[in-house]
Amino acid sequence: MAKLIMERKMGDNLYLHKDFHASMDIALAYIDKRYGKEGIEEYLARFTDSYHKELIGKIQEEGLSAFKDYLVSIFAIEECADCLKIMMNEDSLHAVISKGFYVYSISKCGQMVLVNVYGRILNKSGYNFELLFLDDTTGACEFKVKRIGR
């Protein structure tokens, strides 16, 4: 009987950012149980400052178009580009997301994650982040971003 060998590389696998969020949900539930909401906020601040350092710099240099490009690319990778609608001008961005891939059903921290991650990225870049709506069940949300001082 002939032996068949299948050769695969990591790049052959479909990348799903959702898996990251499922793991993050479990981690946040643990942090909440051990350290409370303050622990979650501290963790998210450290995570954002480290992981999104390049994005923050890019937004500082290029403006909101860099944040828009980031959102578009993430939603495309997650195969839900049709769930994202963005209205933008030079100093503001308004996003409506009909279904998100970042549902935090275990920790119930969806709002905290959006505010502490997107809010921190944008605040460090010279913008205010305002979460207008979030459905914790579907991840649907709406937010506005405006340049600080305008």
- pLDDT (0 to 100) of residue 20: 79
User: What does pLDDT average to over the chain?
Assistant: 89
pLDDT, tens digit, 9 for 90 and up, residues 26-81? 999 999 999 999 999 999 999 999 999 999 999 999 999 999 999 999 888 888 89
CA distances, 18 to each of 61, 115, 146 (Å): 29, 19, 28
Q: Which architecture characterizes domain 17-147 according to CATH? A: 2-Layer Sandwich (3.30)
107 residue type, one letter: S
Which of 2-6, 20-24, 98-102, 119-123 has the largest mean confidence?
119-123
- pLDDT (0 to 100) of residue 13: 61
- pLDDT (0 to 100) of residue 36: 96
